Amino acid sequence: MTARRYVTCGILTLAMALFLTAGALAGNDRSGTANAPATATTAAASGKQDEAALRIEGERRFRANCGRCHQAPHKFPPRMMATIIRHMRVRATLTDEDMRLILQYMTQ
C-alpha cells in the first residue's frame, strides 16, 4: 500500500470512528446530554435560586465562549438568537450543553 493510500485510509477510518463513537455516545446521551438541559429545566422549576444559578452558569459559558473569536455580542431578539447560536454551534463547534445554557442566558 502506498503512503498516499495509507493517509487516505487513515482519514476515512478516523471519520468512521468518529461517526461510530458519536452514534454510540448519542445512544447513551439522550439521557446524558439532555442531562444538562434536563437538569436545567428541573432546576429552573425548583425555584428562583436554581434559576439564578443557571443564569450565572449561562453567563460564565457566554464569557468563556462568545468572545473567543470576536467581541462578545450584545443580545438579539430570542428567535434570532436561536438561529445565531445554532450557527455558532456549527462554526465554533460549541458543545450542546454550552449552546443551551448560553441560549437561555441570552434570551433572558
Partner 1 sequence: MRLDLEGTSGTSRKKPGVRGSRIRPIGITRAASQMAMRCLAVLCLLGIPAVACAQSEPLDFDNIKPVPVFSAGVGFITAFQGGTPNLDPLVSPVILVPLGQNWLIESRDTFESDLAPPPDGIGYKGVLEKEVDYLQVDYIANPYLTVTVGRFLTPFGIFNERLYPIWIRDLQSDPLILPIATGPSGAQTGAMLRGGFSITPRVEMNYATYFSTLSTINRIDSDRDAGFRTGLFFPGPRVEIGGSFQHLLQDDHSNAFGFHFEWQPPSTSLDLRAEYARSHNGSGYWIEPAYKLTNAPIWRHELRHVQLVGRMQQFFTGTVVDDDLPVLNTNMFEFGMNYYFRDDIRFVSSYGRQFATGGNENVWTLGLTYRVALPLGHGDVQ
Q: CA angle, corner 21, sides to 2 and 103, nearest 5?
A: 125
The alpha carbon dihedral of 103, 78, 85, 23 has a sign of positive
Chosen residue from 65, 100, 101, 105 binding ligand HEC by CB under 6 A: 65
Q: Does 91 bind ligand HEC (CB under 6 A)?
A: yes
Residue 75 partner contact from partner 1, ligand HEC, none using kind-dependent CB cut-offs of 5 to 8 Å: partner 1
Phi-psi group of 76: left, alpha or beta (phi > 0 → left; psi -120 to 50 → alpha; rest → beta): beta
Binders of partner 1 in range 7-66 (CB under 8 A): 7-8, 11-12, 14-15, 18-19, 21-23, 25-26, 29, 33, 37, 41, 51, 61, 63-65
Does the footprint of partner 1 cover residue 80 (CB under 8 A)?
yes
